[in-house]
A and B are shown apart, each in its own frame.
Chain A
Amino acid sequence: MESKAGAEEAPKSGAMADLRYSLHLMSRNKLVLAGSVLAAGTILVALLAHVIVPASATVDDRAIRICWNNSLINWHIPSINVCPRPLPLGTDAYGRNLLLMIILAVPLDLSIALEIVASAVVIGLVFGSIAGYAGGIVDEAILRVTDIFFAVPGILLAIVLMTVLGRTIPNLTLAVLITWWPLYVRLIRSQVLSEKERPYVEALRAMGAGRFRILFRHVVPNSIYPLIVQSTLDIGSVILTVSTLVFLGFAPSNIATGQTPELGSLTSQGSQYIFSAPWLIIFPGLTILIISLGFNLLGDGLRDVFDPRLRR
C-alpha cells in the first residue's frame, strides 16, 4: 500500500511497474493461476454461450428425455435410458442436450452475480467512505443500520423479501443485494479509517485540498486492493446464494422449472430422478462448484499478492 500511496504523484512508469510486479507475483502463485483460468473460462463461456448454443437446442424433445449415451461413464444403473445418438452429458427432463443447457445457464447466473456485487460495491463505497471519513454520529448511525442486517441469516431475509415482492429475477437480485451491501460498508469504512490517519492525508490537508477531494481522489483509491479481493471472492459466494434460492424455487416459473436453464433450477429439476439419473444433478451442480471455486481461488490468491506485508 505504501508504494501505491507514492504512485499517486509518481510518473506513470511507477504505476506500471507496480502493476507488472503484481502480475509477476500472480503468475508465480499456482492457485491464483488456476483461479484466473477458471474465472476467465467462465466469463468466456458466458459471453459466447448464445453463439455456441443454437436456438433449436432449447426445444423440448420428449422422445429422448433423461437418457445417457457416453461410454466413458458407466453409472451401473440397471434400467437406464440409452440415447439414440452419443451425447456428452446425456439429456435433461425435457429431452434437451444437458451440456448445452449448462452452457446456456452460465451467463444468467454470472450476470445476476455481477449485478449484485457491483451494486454492493457502489453502495459500500458511498456509505462506507462517508462513515469512515465523517466519523461521529454519522458513522454510528450507518454502523447501527448494518448491525441489523448482520443479525439475520442473509438467505432467510432474502426468502422473506421474495415471498412478499414476488418471484422475479429483479426481485431476486434486489433481495440478495439487500443482504449483501452491509459487508462492503464495513469493509470500506475500516479501510478509510486506517488510511485517513496516514501522513499523506495530513499533507494534503495542509496543502488545502478539500474533504471530498481527499476522500474520493486519494483515500478511496488507496483502499482499493481489499475491495478487489472481497468482490472477487463474493462473485463466487453470490453465485452460490443465487443458485440456492433458485433451487428452492425462488424464481419465475419458467426458470424455477428449468424450462429456461439456470444452474440451480437444473439441479432441482434433476432431484426427482436422483437415483435413476444422477447426471441430471451432478453436472449442473459441478458447474456451480467450478465457477465458484475459480473466483474464490482467484480472490484468495489476490489477497496474498496485494498483502503489503508479503509484498516487500
Chain B
Amino acid sequence: MKLYEYVLRRLALLVFVLLALAALIFYITRGLLPPAYALTQYVTPRMTSAERLILAQNLGVATSSCPSYAAFATSAKGCIVPLWGQFFGWLKTVLSGNWGYTVLPGYVAGTETTWNVFWVRFPYTAELAIGGTILTIAIAIPLGIVSATHANKAPDHASRVVAISGYSIPQFWFGYILQVVFVLYVALNGRGLLPVGGPLPTSCAICFANPGSVVTRTGFPVIDAILSGNFPYFWDSIVGLILPTVTLALTTIGALTRILRSSMVDALHQDYILLARSKGLRDRVVVYRHALRNALLPAITIAGLILAFLLGGVVVIEYVFDFPGVGQAAVLASTSFDLNFLELYVLVTAVIIVLTNLVVDVLYAKLDPRIRY
C-alpha cells in the first residue's frame, strides 16, 4: 500500500470514529433524556408555544404532523421523531454551527451562543495545553535519556521515583499545594511570588501592576500581546501560565519519561550501537545521534495519548486555578445543564486528538524507513 492510500484509509476511519462518537454523545445527552430537553438551548423566553413547536420541527425532534406544542411536551403518540431520525436532525443543526444559546451562569438567557462562548474560552485552554506539551517534552526527554544511560543505577532509580510520583499525584491537590507554598510561605515584598488565580492577575510581586489591555485579534492572550506590542501584558500572561502548566504536565512527564527510558534501553542494546562504539565514536554521539533518534520514534506514538491527557486534565486545573478556559466552563456547564457546551467540547477535543494521531502515524511512517504501509 502506498502512503497516500494509507492516509486515505485513515481519513475514512477518522470520519467513522468521529461520527460514532457523535452518535454516542447524542445518545447520552438526548436519548437518555425526555425530548423536550433538546429545545432548552434554542428557545428564547418570549417564544410562544406555536413558535416552539415550529422550532422543535426544525430541529428534527417533533414530527410535522404534531398538532400542538403541548402534545409534543407530553410526548404524545406520533409527535416525536424516532431517535435515529433525531440524530440526523441534530447532526444537521450542529454541523451548520447552530449550537444554541448558552445557559452558563453569567449570561442573560438567550443572548450569547454556545459556539461563541466556547471559542472565546478555547484559546486559554489551548495555551495551557501547549505549555503542558512543551514542559512535558523539555523535562521528560532529558530524564528518560539519563535513566536509560544509567539504567539500574542511582540516577535511574531517582528518575523512576520522580516519574511514578508524577502520575500518582492528584493534580487538584498539587495545584493547591503550589498556591499555599507560593502565597503563604515563599513571599517577596510581602506578596506571593507567582500569581495563583487566572491568567492575568494583578496580585503578584514580579508581575506588572497594570498590564493595560490588548486588541483581541486571535483570542490567545500571549499572541495578542505580541501583536499589540504590549510587553507587560505578554509577561503577565506568560507568568500566569507557570503554576497551572507545571501542575498539568506532572502526569504526562511521568508517562513519557518511562516510555522513553524503555525504548532507549532497547535501542542501546542494538547491534548498531555496538558497531558505533567499536568504531570509536564518542559516547555523546552514540547516545544522541544513534540511540536517541531511534528511541524517539516509539515515544512519539503516544503523542495523541498525551494530548488527550492534557486536554482532559485542564478541567480540574482550570477549576483549581480559576482559569477562564473551556475546562472550567465544563464543570459549570454540568451544573447548569448546558449539554450543548459539553457536546461541543467533547467533539472539538476528539477532532484534535484523532488528527494528532493521524499526523503522528504518518510522520512515523515517513521517519522510519522500515515501516511500509
Contact residue among A31, A148, A289 (Cβ-Cβ distance under 8 Å from B173): A289
Cα distance A145–B183 when bound, in Å? Answer: 47
Q: Cβ of A76 < 8 Å from any Cβ of B?
A: yes
For B164, give the chain A residue with the smallest CB separation.
A296
Instruction: Establish whether residues A236 and B315, one from each chain, have CB atoms under 8 Å apart when the complex forms.
Output: no
* CB pair A160 B160 closer than 8 Å: no
Which residues from A are CB-within-8-Å of B185? 76
Please indicate which of the listed interface residues B20, B172, B174, B319 has the most CB atoms of chain A within 10 Å of its own CB.
B172
In the complex, what residues of A have CB within 8 A of residue B345's CB? 156
- Asked if B168 is an interface residue, CB under 8 A from chain A, the answer is yes
Chain B residue contacts of A268, Cβ below 8 A: 172
| Chain B residues within 8 Å of A250, by CB | 334
Q: Which residues of A contact B180 (CB under 8 A)?
A: 274-275, 278, 281-282
- Are B309 and A160 closer than 8 Å at their CB atoms? no
Given A144-B16, A148-B20, answer yes or no on A285-B33 (Cβ-Cβ < 8 Å): no
Look across to chain B and name the residue whose beta carbon is closest to the beta carbon of A248.
B331
Q: Which of A52-95 contact B (CB under 8 A)?
A: 76-77
Q: How far is the CA of A286 from the CA of B176 in the complex (A)?
A: 12
A115 contacts partner chain B, Cβ-Cβ < 8 Å: no
Does B177 belong to the interface (CB within 8 Å)?
yes
Tell me whether B17 is interfacial, beta carbon within 8 Å: yes
Chain A 276-312, CB within 8 Å of chain B: the 1/0 string?
0010011011101100110011001000000000000
Closest 9 CB pairs of A and B: A153-B312, A285-B173, A292-B168, A293-B168, A163-B334, A151-B350, A155-B312, A288-B170, A278-B180
- Residues of chain A within 8 A (CB-CB) of B169 are 289, 292
Would you call A164 and B170 a contact (CB within 8 A)? no
* CB <8 Å contact, A151 and B17: yes
Complex contact B173–A288 (CB within 8 A): yes
Question: B11 on the interface (CB 8 Å rule)?
Answer: no
- The complex places the Cα of A240 from the Cα of B169 at a distance, in Å, of 8
| A150 cross-chain contacts in B, Cβ below 8 A | 304-305, 308, 353
User: Within residues 324 to 355 of chain B, which ones have a CB less than 8 A from any CB in chain A?
Assistant: 330-331, 333-335, 337, 339, 342-343, 345-346, 349-350, 353-354
Minimum CB–CB distance for A227 against chain B, Å: 19
What residues on B are CB-neighbors of A243 within 8 Å? 170
A293 CA to B185 CA, complexed, in Å: 26
The answer for the CA separation of A289 and B13 in the assembled complex, in Å, is 39
Q: Which residues of A contact B334 (CB under 8 A)?
A: 159-160, 162-163, 250
Interface contact A236-B168, CB-CB below 8 Å: yes
Docked-complex contact B20 and A31, CB < 8 angstroms: no
B260 within 8 A of A: no
Q: Say whether A8 faces chain B, with CB atoms less than 8 Å apart.
A: no
Residue ranges of A at the interface with B (Cβ–Cβ < 8 Å) = 31, 76-77, 144-145, 147-148, 150-157, 159-165, 236-237, 240, 243-244, 247-250, 264, 267-268, 271, 274-275, 278, 281-282, 284-286, 288-289, 292-293, 296-297, 300
Residues in A whose Cβ lies below 8 Å from that of B200: none
Closest CB in chain A relative to B142 CB, distance in Å: 20
Q: Are the C-beta atoms of A164 and B17 separated by less than 8 Å?
A: no
- Smallest CB-CB separation from B327: which chain A residue? A156
One digit per residue, 1 when the CB lies within 8 angstroms of any chain A CB and 0 when it does not, for chain B 174-197 equals 101101100111000000000000
Closest to B165 in A: A293
Please, how many angstroms separate the alpha-carbon atoms of A282 and B350 in the complex?
Answer: 34
Q: Is the interface of B mostly helix, strand, loop or mixed?
A: helix
Chain B contacts of A165 at CB under 8 A?
Answer: 32
CA distance A264 to B316 in the complex (A): 12
Closest A residue to B304 by beta carbon equals A150
Q: How far is the CA of A147 from the CA of B339 in the complex (A)?
A: 23
Q: Which residue of B lies closest to A151 (CB)?
A: B350
With A248-B315, A281-B173 given, is the CB distance from A163 to B167 under 8 Å?
A: no
In the complex the two chains form, what is the Cα distance from A239 to B268 in whole Å?
A: 36
With A281-B173, A292-B170 known to touch, is A156 a contact of B315 (CB < 8 Å)?
A: yes
Q: Is B25 an interface residue (CB 8 A)?
A: yes
If A150-B308, A267-B176, A275-B180 touch, does A163 touch B21 (CB 8 Å cutoff)? no
Do the beta carbons of B21 and A237 come within 8 Å of each other? no
Least Cβ–Cβ distance between A263 and chain B, in angstroms:
8
Assembly CA distance A292 to B349 (angstroms): 27
Question: With a CB–CB cut-off of 8 A, which chain A residues contact B312?
Answer: 153-156
State the CA gap A57–B288 with chains docked (Å). 59
Quick check: B349 and A164 within 8 Å, CB to CB? no
> Would A281 and B177 count as touching, CB distance under 8 A?
yes
Please list 30 pairs of residues, one from A and one from B, whose beta carbons are closer than 8 Å in the complex, sorted by A's number.
Answer: A150-B304, A151-B18, A151-B21, A153-B309, A154-B312, A163-B333, A163-B337, A163-B339, A164-B29, A240-B170, A247-B170, A248-B316, A248-B319, A249-B331, A264-B170, A267-B176, A271-B176, A275-B183, A278-B184, A282-B177, A284-B173, A285-B173, A285-B174, A289-B165, A289-B168, A293-B165, A296-B164, A296-B168, A297-B164, A300-B160
| Distance A268 CA – B172 CA, assembled complex (angstroms) | 9
B28 near A: Cβ within 8 Å? Answer: yes
B349 touches A247 (CB 8 A): no
A285 to B343, CA, bound (A): 31
Assess the B176–A274 pair: CB atoms within 8 A.
yes
Q: Are B171 and A244 in contact (CB under 8 A)?
A: yes
B24 at the interface (CB under 8 A from A): yes
CB within 8 Å for A163 and B160 given contacts A148-B17, A240-B170, A288-B173:
no
Listed residue (A153, A236, A249) with the most chain B CB atoms within 10 angstroms of its CB: A153
Residues of B within 8 A of A160 (CB): 25, 28-29, 334, 339, 342-343, 346
Query: Given the complex, which residues of B lie within 8 Å of A152, measured CB to CB?
Result: 21, 308, 346, 349-350, 353
| CA A85 to CA B181, docked complex, whole Å | 28
Q: Are A148 and B21 in contact (CB under 8 A)?
A: yes
Which chain B residues border A240 with CB–CB below 8 Å?
168, 170
Query: What residue of chain A has the Cβ atom nearest to residue B347's Cβ?
Result: A152
Q: How far is the CB of B78 from chain A (nearest CB, A)?
A: 26
Most central of B20, B334, B339, B345 by chain A CB within 10 Å: B334
Q: Is B311 an interface residue (CB 8 A)?
A: yes
B157 at the A interface (CB under 8 A): yes
Query: Which residues of chain A come closer than 8 Å to B20, judged between CB atoms?
Result: 144-145, 148
Of the residues B170, B176, B177, contact of A244 by C-beta under 8 Å: B170
Shortest distance in angstroms between A303's beta carbon and chain B's nearest beta carbon? 10
